[in-house]
Structure 1
Amino acid sequence: MASGKADKTSKTSFKNPNKRLPLGPNRAKKNKTKKKVNKTKKNQNNNESNGVQRASASQQLSFFLNQFQSANGVQLSSLELESIKDNCILELSKGLDQDANTLGKHMKAAFRPSWKEVLCEGQLMEGKIDCGSPAIIIFSASAIRSLELLRGLRPLTMECHAVKLFSKHMKVEDQVSLLKNRVNIASGTPSRIKKLIDMEALGISRLDVIVLDMQTDVKGYSLFTLPQVRDEFWDLYKSFFHQRVVRGDLRICLYGAVPVDAEIKKIEKRCS
């Protein structure tokens, strides 16, 4: 009997070996605080992955100028920096994520009351709307990403289709033909866009906004960091866009999360 009782007691003691004792009040409070901090960090990371833009216009401009100087090996003078104003940066709604699906909503808001006339209508207007001259050009590092962003613009392009300007599976001749019609929105890669501008098939007289995709690919590269694409973009920017930005005739939209770091702060000091 004694032996049987001992066996029963032994089984009972090992029934829940992983059962935890209740935490004391101080330890429970500490764990609760830790969970709250981790949840906050997770939300911040989710915001970054969703492309929520938190940088101000000034910070975005500083980031852009830093990239410009670094990629081209130049140092802009204080006079040159002062000539480039914050209003050349298109600030987007902080209430919307910056992903492919919401791009159309952001662009609609950017053009305010005239959005339908500028971005949707498909008729050429002699003396006002030339063929092959978009109001928006979207720059991406790849053809696949260009297509992703175009999907978010479908509500705006039903009447006047957006033009795909990249080399993958598309001939230059076909794109030249498409650009003989009214074009409100174009999306592509720097190399093909520059080629079409050089051929005078793609016009920029009506261009109001250039959208620069900030998303990184699976290897961590972006429009500003993928070596060949980066060089092609800055060559295009210097040749056709920089002076228009300085004059205030062209707005830059950095679409996606923009980092704010020590390098940006250095440029901000030079601007002040």
Structure 2
Amino acid sequence: MSSRNAASLMQGTEDTATYRPLPTMDSEREKTMETRTGSQGKNQGRRLRQSEEDRIRQLIAALIASSEHDGFASVSKLLGRGHSYLQQYVRRGSPRLLRQSDRRLIARHFGIDESELLTPEEKEPTAEDDLLFIDRLPNNGFSPGQAPEVKSMTVAGAAFSGSWLRRWFALNPETLSLVTVKGDSMAPTLLHGDEVLIDRSDRDPTRDGIFMLYIGAVPCPKRITVHPVTGGLVISSDNAQYAAFDSCRRDEVEIIGRVVWVARRLA
């Protein structure tokens, strides 16, 4: 059954499946609640959610009513529930909304797109909608003192999945930048040509880690720790051939951001 056919089933559902929308709040009660909460937006959101729940309930009722082989009991059994489970859901509104896994199973059973039985919040964005473009910082020399304004000096970057970024890093994509590593000072952790993602919102080295900072006028990745005695910053390279800088004052170090991700070509 196509999505278009599924949508057409919505007409006449109340007569064929005895669907009844859940009662809405009367206007006086609604006004009282808005005054009590001081937020009209919350009530509007509640009405939208209820409307969406009613739409899904009505569509499930229509699918069952239009089937020659299925009824409330058989589809309830498909979900591993008691025979009256879906009848109670459709006619009494209990539960208010079926579990997402149950709704996906019902959609597959009746041959419609699963998104038909999902709320807008549950629908996954398309691959194109999910793309976020992360700017790349040039690393052929900057003027010192510009770390807070690096976004104005970006060049063409790369596209990332927004949901992937939020899932793995819980970061605002607007604060992320790509930088290509130059040199071998951080080998073997970071190699020449590696692509690193830096979080420009995290320039606080009190939590040890690898940061992108300026050495002279060039951005370089370095490991930064806090000296346990002096409280100064210890700036070091993972490559032992490079000397470390001990007990640097915080105002002497210009940090662009923390390195949070690295990509490397293997062949």
Given the two structures, how large is their TM-score scaled by the length of structure 2?
A: 0.23
Choose between structure 1 and 2 for higher RCO, CA contacts under 8 A separated by at least 6 residues: 1
The TM-score with structure 1 as length reference comes to 0.23
Larger radius of gyration: 2
Normalized per residue, the structure richer in strand is 2
More helix by share: 1
